[in-house]
């Protein structure tokens, strides 16, 4: 018992003191937002047939289905063409802003609204990748996915530097955005437009009230205790959502693997052969023919796929084995994107897999990306330092002893309150 309570205390402190996996959730945010953004842009010429007035699943049929299953979608608030175009354009905008990490807490809520609105309008247009995006859009709402690699993190660093210099910082965009969205949410609630899915409505109101409480705790509270309490609540919600995301990814692979085990084509090692010869999944017939030319290769890929999917949840207890299988699955999804022509399904699965990537690998990748960006676009905010003067030089004329270099600025990771 003497050893149990300190261990429990350390575990509770770890869960409440900080938001775990900041780099993993940032990659998940970027991957999910990028996948949905690319999908919306790719399908822009066909948006009318997918989700608009020209869809085979008409507005009346969608209204009847939503009335029966209480799904959430703002596209059924009006059947006008202007409303549809506005919702589609806003979905593209919210995806881009979430990708950049601008006002991440608000953008996760608006991104979720955009995903659910379009997908629930035409539920028969989706596939497995859309289901993953559907779930991850909801889970992201509970995470603090803007701590790193976001415009929010950069703004927090700049505000911290300004406070260190004794300057006062004032954010007018956040309260204005909060007020506008509050009016929209209130009008939608009073008009009865959100009577379908009460869970989504409760989430939106919880986020709105949480933002208000955070702002009031920072402005009106005389002590740091209210802000610390809200910080703890946010950390617990983030860590719980991260655990759910990891469990969801394991559940996807485990169920897929065990269902494959029961299939006769997976048992005899020929299952991979058939989708590669379907016209719908063969954008590169010659490449598919090359891959299926060897029966031994087809059998190995079939069996290895099943083994990896079934074994992956159990490898989480061994970091090295987990990383090997994770790399294989990411490679497999990349091959599926090219060979079977399913890029968005593969991107969605790779984004979900990113929560298992090692932090050291992500930090190293971030440093390499920052170094490459610095080489391609030199920073223009560095003020050149004049060269030192020689004591014996002519007055008023500096002589260069060596090239002047500005001291590099090291950006630290923002605190858990970001």
For residues 261-286, average pLDDT: 89
- Total residues belonging to the chain: 418
Q: How far apart are CA 14 and CA 11, in angstroms?
A: 5
CA neighbor of 102 nearest in space, from 150, 149, 160? 150
Per-residue pLDDT tens digits for 150-189: 999 999 999 999 988 988 888 889 889 999 999 999 988 8
Residues with Cβ within 8 Å of 38's Cβ and at least 6 positions away in sequence, in order, are 343, 344, 347
State the maximum Cα–Cα separation within the chain, in Å, rounded to a whole number. Answer: 91
Continuous H helices in 191-318: 198-219, 225-261, 264-267, 285-291, 295-311
Per-residue pLDDT tens digits for 105-138: 999 999 999 999 999 999 888 888 899 999 999 9
Q: How far apart are CA 233 and CA 250, in angstroms?
A: 26
One DSSP character per residue, 109-151 reads HHHHHHHHHHHHHSGGG--HHHHHHHHHHHHHTTS-TTSSSSH
- How much helix, strand and coil, in percent to the nearest 5, is found in the chain? 70, 0, 30
Residue 194 pLDDT level (bands cut at 50, 70, 90): low
CA neighbor of 352 nearest in space, from 19, 127, 35, 32? 32
Report whether 28 contacts 249 (CB < 8 A): no
Residue 196 pLDDT level (bands cut at 50, 70, 90): low
For residues 21-45, average pLDDT: 96
Mean pLDDT rounded to a whole number for the chain: 86
Report whether 304 contacts 324 (CB < 8 A): no
Report whether 310 contacts 257 (CB < 8 A): yes
For residues 58-81, average pLDDT: 90
- Indicate whether 402 pLDDT > 80: no
Residue 399 has what pLDDT?
41
Host H or E run for residue 337: helix 319-339
Q: How far apart are CA 178 and CA 185, in angstroms?
A: 10
CA neighbor of 332 nearest in space, from 316, 321, 345? 345
For residue 364, the 8-state DSSP code is H
Per-residue pLDDT tens digits for 349-376: 999 999 999 999 999 999 998 888 888 8
């Amino acid at each position: 018992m003497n050893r149990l309570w300190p261990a429990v205390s350390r575990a509770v402190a770890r869960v409440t003191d900080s938001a775990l996996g900041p780099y993993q959730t940032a990659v998940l945010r970027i991957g999910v937002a990028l996948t949905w953004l690319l999908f919306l842009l790719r399908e822009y010429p066909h948006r009318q047939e997918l989700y608009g007035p020209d869809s085979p699943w008409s507005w009346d049929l969608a209204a009847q289905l939503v009335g029966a299953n209480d799904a959430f979608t703002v596209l059924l608030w009006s059947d006008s063409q202007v409303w549809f175009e506005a919702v589609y354009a806003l979905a593209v905008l919210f995806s881009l802003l979430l990708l950049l990490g601008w006002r991440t807490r608000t953008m996760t809520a608006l991104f979720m609204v955009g995903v659910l609105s379009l997908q629930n309008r035409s539920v028969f247009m989706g596939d497995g990748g859309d289901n993953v995006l559907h779930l991850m859009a909801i889970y992201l709402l509970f995470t603090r996915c803007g701590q790193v690699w976001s415009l929010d993190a950069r703004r927090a660093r700049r505000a911290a530097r300004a406070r260190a210099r004794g300057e006062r910082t004032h954010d007018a965009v956040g309260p204005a955005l909060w007020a506008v969205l509050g009016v929209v949410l209130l009008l939608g609630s009073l008009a009865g437009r959100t009577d379908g899915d009460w869970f989504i409505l409760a989430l939106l109101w919880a986020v709105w009230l949480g933002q208000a409480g955070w702002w009031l705790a920072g402005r009106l509270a005389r002590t740091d205790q209210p802000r610390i309490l809200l910080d703890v609540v946010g950390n617990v919600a983030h860590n719980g959502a991260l655990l759910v995301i990891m469990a969801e990814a394991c559940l996807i692979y485990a169920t897929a693997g065990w269902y494959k085990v029961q299939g006769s084509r997976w048992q005899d090692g020929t299952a991979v052969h058939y989708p590669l010869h379907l016209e719908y999944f063969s954008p590169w017939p010659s490449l598919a023919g090359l891959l299926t030319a060897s029966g031994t290769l087809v059998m190995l890929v079939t069996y290895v796929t099943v083994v990896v999917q079934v074994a992956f949840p159990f490898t989480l207890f061994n970091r090295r084995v987990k990383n090997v299988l994770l790399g294989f699955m990411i490679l497999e999804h990349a091959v599926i994107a090219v060979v079977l022509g399913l890029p968005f399904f593969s991107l969605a699965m790779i984004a979900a897999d990113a929560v298992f990537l090692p932090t050291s690998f992500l930090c190293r990748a971030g440093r390499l990306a920052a170094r490459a960006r610095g080489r391609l676009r030199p920073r223009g905010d560095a003020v050149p330092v004049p060269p030192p003067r020689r004591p014996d030089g002519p007055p008023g004329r500096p002589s260069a002893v060596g090239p002047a270099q500005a001291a590099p600025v090291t950006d630290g990771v923002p605190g858990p309150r970001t």
